[in-house]
Amino acid sequence: MMAVFNSFEFNVAGTSLAIPLPLIVNVIISFGAFYVGQHLIPRMKTMFINANLFGMDMNKATKIRIPEAFGVVTGCIFLVSLFLFIPMPFASNFSKDGTDEFPHHKFVEFIAAMLSICCMILLGFADDVLNLRWRDKLYLPTIASLPLLMVYYTNFNSTTIILPKFVSNILGSSLDIGALYYVYMGMLAVFCTNAINILAGINGLEVGQSLVIAVSIIVFNLMEICVGNSREAYEFSLYIMLPYLGSTLALWKYNRYPSQVFVGDTFNYLSGMTFAVVGILGHFSKTVLLFFIPQIINFIYSVPQLFHFIPCPRHRLPKYDPKTDLLNCSKTQFRLSDLNILGKLCYNVFKTFRLIQATENKDGTITCNNFTIINFAIILTGPIREDRLNRLLLIFQVLCSVLAFTIRYPLAHYFYDTIN
Ligand code: UD1
Ligand code: MG
């Protein structure tokens, strides 16, 4: 069908560059996704409010209703883009003489990736509508990653990990960890989804951080293709990440400060699952995790509250001061004697290393900031405007991506012979 034009050749500074036709079509579809999102989102705002899908912006003086869960619109545009793209990388493989050259394993991977992302959108939307408990939020990504894990089992079932040089003398250069590899992949999906969801609460932060991670993955894929590494796997990742970028940029336009729409947990789950899916199927999950450095720091910092060693309020987002129009740390209050041994330990360690700002009140209670890096940033800067705080946190995310590339390229060669 399209065997005649499989790629387009360009001449850049004397070297010829072949860009595959599917990639060109994918870029066009991604622009289309941005265009559709940009027009659809504002038109659907009242529809969401009428369906009681709205939230109050807690960091604004005027309490207006902001439509919530717009991740479902972005998710649908993203999925439709992927649906439209299906024939492209595969149609050229239909041979006219009847010989079967069709890459069934690649095709089923692409379908499984879409199935997991689709399943995550459904479960994320269910969470937004039903307001599930925290416990249940952990199960959802595990369920949604099942199609992917099953396909991985039937397709690759490669559960071998490459070991760093310093242990390879003892254990060999690689180790087959069997079922544990599936536990790792399931946990990767749970981590990626929830880590984005708990680094949230100021306008544009959820979408902003996802955009930085997406661009980092795209740059990484392009770099790997340019140096000639496993072209197929990285192209596959690009085919998913570019439409994601297109549809998410449209959402950013309306979610950035001052937010006209909220993204809801649907978007956070959809993003985390997309990153996990490309990492798993492209065999670069460790590199994906490297792009999550701020989320990993926020998760570790949050552990005492997430596991309820220290009381955790429903919302930990910063506290708005209407008099100054600035954000302050949000706080939690407790009695040291009410904490269990782990709570006391966490409190003392965090206080000793000045990771929290705590005050002892006259009535014997302790007030300290909620354990998120958003609040920690406010401790460092003092009261700050919401848009400035968001910009600072996104700059931090970009700097961490630069660090991730430094770890991945120059430094990793000291630790690994082969890297993925
Ligand atoms: C997670 C966080 C919670 C944080 C919330 C903010 C943990 C354990 N949970 O909960 O601390 O407060 O995200 O999204 O860390 N909102 C704003 N401005 C924004 C974004 C959201 O005011 O820019 C408010 C709105 O009222 C919105 C609500 O947050 O309706 C959405 O919260 P939701 O996503 O349901 O909270 P969780 O994900 O459960
Ligand atoms: Mg949320």
Residue nearest to atom 38 of ligand 1 (CA): 197
Which ligand 1 atom is the nearest neighbour of the CA of 131? 35
Q: What are the residues facing 66 on neighbouring strands?
A: 55
pLDDT of residue 183: 94
Q: How far is ligand 1, taken at its centre, from the CA of residue 39, in Å?
A: 26
CA separation for the pair 35, 40 (Å, rounded)? 9
Neighbours of ion ligand 2 (CB under 5 A): 197, 265
Q: How far is ligand 1, taken at its centre, from the CA of residue 164, in Å?
A: 39
Which ligand 1 atom is the nearest neighbour of the CA of 54? 30
pLDDT of residue 1: 37
Q: How far is ligand 2, taken at its centre, from the CA of residue 363, in Å?
A: 34
Query: Is pLDDT at 233 greater than 70 in this prediction?
Result: yes
pLDDT single digits (tens) 377-401: 999 999 999 999 999 999 999 999 9
Q: Are 420 and 409 in contact (CB under 8 A)?
A: no
Residue 112 Cα distances to 133, 144, 194, 231, angstroms: 28, 11, 21, 20
Which ligand 1 atom is the nearest neighbour of the CA of 255? 23
Ligand 1 pocket test target in 315, 371, 376 with most atoms within 8 Å of CB: 315
pLDDT single digits (tens) 191-213: 999 999 999 999 999 999 999 99
Share of the chain above pLDDT 90, in %: 75
pLDDT of residue 3: 41
The verdict on pTM exceeding 0.85 is yes
For residue 89, say if its preceding peptide bond is cis, omega within 30 degrees of 0: no
Q: How far is ligand 1, taken at its centre, from the CA of residue 200, in Å?
A: 6
Which ligand 1 atom is the nearest neighbour of the CA of 306? 8
Which ligand 1 atom is the nearest neighbour of the CA of 316? 11
Mean pLDDT of 171-177: 83
Per-domain residue ranges for the chain?
22-95+102-283, 292-420
Query: Is pLDDT at 100 greater than 50 in this prediction?
Result: yes
Q: How far is ligand 2, taken at its centre, from the CA of residue 391, in Å?
A: 19
Q: How far is ligand 1, taken at its centre, from the CA of residue 316, in Å?
A: 8
Mean pLDDT of 161-183: 83
Which ligand 1 atom is the nearest neighbour of the CA of 204? 23
pLDDT single digits (tens) 240-284: 999 999 999 999 999 999 999 999 999 999 999 999 999 999 989
pLDDT confidence band for 2 (50 / 70 / 90): very low
Residue nearest to atom 12 of ligand 1 (CA): 315
Q: What is the mean pLDDT of the chain?
A: 91
Query: Is pLDDT at 367 greater than 90 in this prediction?
Result: yes
pLDDT of residue 139: 86
Which residues sit with their C-beta closer than 6 Å to ligand 1?
55-59, 68, 197-198, 200-203, 259, 262, 265, 315-317
pLDDT confidence band for 420 (50 / 70 / 90): low
